[in-house]
Structure 1
Amino acid sequence: MERRNRTSISEFILLGLSNQPEQERLLFFLFLVMYLITVLWNLLIILAIRTDAHLHTPMYFFLTNLSLGDICFTSSTVPKMLVNYLSGNKAITYTSCLAQVFFFLLFGGIDCVILASMAYDRYVAICAPLHYNMIMSQKVCAFLVALCWCWACIDALIHTVSLTRLSFCGHNEIPHFFCELSVVIRLACSDTLFNDLMVYIVGSLITVIPFICILISYMCIFIAVLKIPSTHGKKKAFNTCGSHLAVVCLFYGTIIEVYFSPRSTHTAQKDTTSAVMYTLVTPMLNPFIYSLRNNDMKRALRMLFSRKPDLSL
């Protein structure tokens, strides 16, 4: 009986961002520094929120989940790339590639939906402050976060299982630094119509729709801010919301460009550049944008650093 999955290759080759040894060394140190900054800053954000009772509010609850998602999202791709640069071995097994696709989509999806939840939280706080505590109750926040994780898990499972239906007949070089879904699909030698449809239909539910919800939320926030009588208050609100929206647009914009733009517009260099933006740059920027511009967060971090360790036995 013919196997349904006629995969004839056992591994893929990740070509990375460059094949020049000098450039690879530079890229290794650059991405190592960026990765360490991303992980350490997001860990600090989580610790500061957990240890400061004043930050046990819906906004910081979502921020904790965003920081956790950012750490896992970046860790799903960058460590493997760093190991490849160190070892010189750019191979990744078929099973490991599928696993990387799953975890990349899982944690990327969580970030997408958590950002939409955070925008909704800010919308309620600014546009309906008197009803904020009732609308954003603990149960509602827990439900939204659980929905984010379930939604992202279903999305990742659909795409990963769909990949197992494809046949790969020989060409196994991936012009990327990780197993990116759309690139892996293009390597298949069997019909990819179903996979392409899943990218557009299921993928849009976890990227395009949350992005539209964020834009609508910020539009309502900007309208509400315009009604603030204080010029200083308007400037502060616009600076904060503007920086948030800029990072959100960078994150969603590069994802939408890679997954939802016509294939004729894609090049390997363009796709890898976009991937660097949404896999590493935006997770690194999030702690600075969402936390270090916040006075409460700065105070919590100072308290965290000023704590003396308990040396008693």
Structure 2
Amino acid sequence: MSAGLLFLRLVLVFGWTIGSQCDSDVPPAHTIYDKLSIKRNISKRELKCKEGEYAAENICCKMCPPGSFKFGDCTKDKNTTCKPCIEGSTYVNYDNSLDKCRRCRSCDSELDLEVAEHCTVTQDTKCRCKQHYFCNSSGPCHHCDPCSKCENGAIEKECTPTTNTICKRNFWWILLVVVGIVIAIASLSAVAAYCYKKKRQDFDLNNQMRHWVVHKPPTPEMEHLVYPDVDLSTYIPAIVEEMTLTQVKNFVRRHEIPEPAIEQTVQDHLNDSTEQKIKLFHIWYQHHGMKGAYGNLIVSLRKFNMRTVADKIEKKLNVVTSSSQENGRSNINTAEQSSALSDGHNV
């Protein structure tokens, strides 16, 4: 009996030893899960698609061909869903995974451009300068300049859509210019010497007579040159009413408003020139700010050879500012009268 118990005890000890060894070889469940997650993340990071494919979730999808855009990603059972661009309106000129086609460019006749090649689903519109105009840019042309005219028709090379006219050199003309410059310099030197002598004489005379200098008060004409800071945002429709679309474009372009912003504004209001003018002027006003905007507007218009427009706008705004000033003076006088009456009652 004791021998049987001893045998049973040896069997149990042997079984426990083998079980412990097996348990030590099996990793815990959370360790297995972590290793699987790491493998999945590594495989996702290492997903590299071939040329002409793009990554979507955990698979590579074939890109849409030129002239179409991606409407839906591919799956294991279905290819990428592509839809065609709208002919004459949108385009894509390369293999892509875009969600929509790109908008075709328009050739603005106000900038002296015309269509060279119409837009297709695989190619954007190509513009060129109209006859007697040329583009001065090495990249895509955004506006054209008028071709130069040669004196007496002495043309060496005709104007093209990409190059200006080249005139023949007239050495007699160059000689006349040089002579004219020499004469002008001599005349200016003589005038400067005379003015210096005259001022010296006046200075000596003033020292002898010792007169007090009486400063005249500023005249209304001088005050007219000082422009108040007026909030122009309320009067923009009235301002652009006196200007053509071409003049507004020229004005904002001269004030370094980017050409893409101008083109986008025109596209957003394609059939409403009044709204185009208002929006373009708003861009300039936001860019400049209220301080000094009124004076900058009037001075710039005159500098850009739009004096008639400047006079009309100044006349309109002067009526408004004069009215505001009169109301301000009236309010001040009323306040002073009220204060005087109050003092009289107190006495």
> Could you say which TM-score interval applies, normalised by the shorter chain?
under 0.3
TM-score by length of 2: 0.20
- Structure number with larger C-alpha Rg: 2
Structure number having the greater helix percentage:
1
Higher strand residue share = 2
Query: With structure 1 as the length reference, what TM-score do the two structures score?
Result: 0.22
